Structure 1
Amino acid sequence: MEPWDGLTIDTGELREVFERLVTHLEQTRGASVTLHEDYFYSMPYPEIYDVMKDPPALTIGQLTESWANLHRAEDGDSTVTFELVWLGDVLKALGHLA
């Protein structure tokens, strides 16, 4: 593998991508979307990114739990970073609708 210096993402561009994707989702699926799966396999952090080692043991995640956590997060300062992980769970499931 080649040396990696990281990926820099402009948050304004990220916002534009989210807006474009949500707009597309609304235009193609309507104002609400039903996800028919709930449980999914997950890999623990930080091992998920260490591809030079054998894959870590899978864990199980739950979309309804990730979505509920996003709605329950009253103290955004303490959970906001992990909320991106929960949102990622939901976004991945939405991406698999296609």
Structure 2
Amino acid sequence: MTMGDSVELTYPRLIEVFAVLIAHARDISASESFSVPNDLFWSIPVEDMTIPVAGAGDVYEHQPELTIGQVAETWNNIESMIDDESIISYGLIWFADILRAIGNASTG
């Protein structure tokens, strides 16, 4: 596989990996809830999340503009989306931000 090739992931395996990792986070926190110590985080706008694959040099030349995200706001967006039963694909991006915050807090 070369840089820029597509990668195929199966939903059953994604669900399995998520279950194992979230169980691990729960075990190390020894609680039914998780406190994220830093509410603010660096965020990459969606349009800058992927790197152009026209040439190998593009990987190092592409410099995304960072913005500031907020865990509390992101979680509120997710809860509103679920409560309103208005699921949107962008919810996966919000959820990735939450998982990143949990991972960062879990690793120290």
Is the shorter-chain TM-score for this pair beyond 0.5, marking a shared fold? yes
1-structure distance, mates of 2:46, 2:77: 18
* Residue-by-residue CA offset, 1:31-81 (whole Å, 9 max, x unaligned): 11100111111111222322623312211111101100110011434x2x1
Q: Distance in 1 between matches of 2:94 and 2:4?
A: 26
Identify which of 54, 72, 82 aligns with 2:90.
82
Q: Can you give the 5+ residue segments of structure 1 that lack an aligned partner in the other structure?
A: none
Tell me which of the two structures has the higher relative contact order, counting C-alpha pairs closer than 8 angstroms and 6 or more residues apart. Answer: 2
TM-score, normalization by structure 2: 0.78
Task: Give the ranges of 4+ consecutive aligned residues of structure 1 lying more than 4 Å apart after TM superposition.
Answer: none
Q: 2: CA distance between counterparts of 1:72 and 1:12?
A: 26
Which moved further from structure 2: 55-64 or 85-94? 55-64
TM-score under structure 1 normalisation?
A: 0.85
Q: 1:4 to 1:56 in 2, by over 3 A?
A: closer
Query: Structure 1 vs Structure 2: percent identity of aligned residues?
Result: 28
What is the distance in 2 between the residues matched to 1:59 and 1:43?
6
Corresponding residue for residue 21 of structure 2: 21
Unpaired segments ≥5 residues, structure 2 = 53-57
